[in-house]
Amino acid sequence: MKFAQSVLTLLFITSRTAAAWTTLSAAARHRHVPHRLLAIQLHSTTVTAVSTQVDGEEATESFRLKFLEDSKPVSPWHDIPLKNEDGSYNMVVEIPKMTKAKMEVATKEENNPIAQDVKKGKLRDYHGPIFWNYGCLPQTWEDPNVKHPELGCFGDNDPIDVVEIGSAALAMGSIKPVKPLGVLAMIDDGELDWKVLAISTDDPLAEEYNDIEDVPKAITDGVREWFRWYKTPDDKPINEFGFDEAYLNKAEAIKVIDETNEAWSKLKSGETDAGKLWTGN
C-alpha cells in the first residue's frame, strides 16, 4: 500500500512538471537536432568540430556512440573542455528528455563512448521517461576515496551529473553549453551523487533563470522526487538527499563543480589511482 501511494505521489508530481514544461516548451521543439554529426562551437578562440559515430544497434549491448575530432577518436569525458570563455559549462548529453534508455559515458572503456548501462546481464531502462535532459560535465569526477566533510559519504566514481531543464529535447551525444543554477546532494546507496541543475544557454528561459530561486518550485520538486523514487519499482530503497533536501545555490554549485574538476585533474595526471577507469594515460 505504501509503495502504491508513493508511486501515485511521484506520478502526480512528475505529471505536473511535465505539463508545466509542455506549456513552456511548445515554442522551442523545432530545435531538436539529429546526433549523427554535430558541429560544436566551444566558445573559445577556435571552433572544434566533433562528430559522433554509431557502432552496433540501438537497444543492444553492442551499441556505442563514439566521439571523433578530425576523424580521430576523442573522449567526451577527458577531451571536451569543462568551461567556455563566456563562463558557460559544457554538458555531454547522455539521455534526451522523454526517453527511458539508461545511457551513460562508459568510464571504463577506451575513449569513453556512450553505451546503455547493463546490470545483471540486462540493459537498463527507466520504468518511465525522464522529463529533463540528463548528462554529465566533462573533466569532472566524484572521487570515491574522498569523504564529504558534512555529509559523511564518498563520491560515486563518475563524472558529475547534470539535469538540464530547458525546453528542447537535446540529442544524445550533443555538447551543450549550459548555465548551472544549483545543485542537489543525492545520496544513492550510501554514495554521494551530485545533481547539477542547469539550463542550456540558448534556451528561451536562460535569461530568466540565473540562480536556483528563479526556477519554479514545480520543476525543482519534480526533479528531486523523480530521483527519489525512480529505483523503487526494482524493490530498491528510495534515494536520500543531504542538506535537508534543499538545493544549494549557483555559487555553491560552482564550488562543487570546481572540486570535482580538481579531483578529475588528479585522476588524469595519475596522482590518484584510476583503478579500472579509462583515462588515456
Residue 193 near residue 186 (C-beta atoms within 8 A): yes
Selected catalytic residue, list 89, 126, 230, 247 = 126
Residue 167 near residue 204 (C-beta atoms within 8 A): yes
Is 209 a known active-site residue?
no
Q: Give the DSSP per-residue string, the chain.
A: -HHHHHHHHHHHHHHHHHHHHHHHHGGGGGG---SSEEEE--SSSS-EEEEEEEES-TTSTT-EEEEEETTEEE-TTTTS-SB-TTS-EEEEEEE-TT--B-EEE-TTSTT--EEE-EETTEE-B-SS--SSEEEE-TT----TT-B-TTT--EE-SSPPEEEE--SSPPPTT-EEEEEEEEEEEEEETTEEEEEEEEEETTSTTTTT--SGGGS-HHHHHHHHHHHHHTTGGGTPPPPEESGGGPPB-HHHHHHHHHHHHHHHHHHHHTSS--TT-----
- The phi and psi torsions of 247 (rounded to 5 degrees) equal -75, 140
CA dist 17 and 196 (Å) reads: 18
Give me the active site residues, please.
126
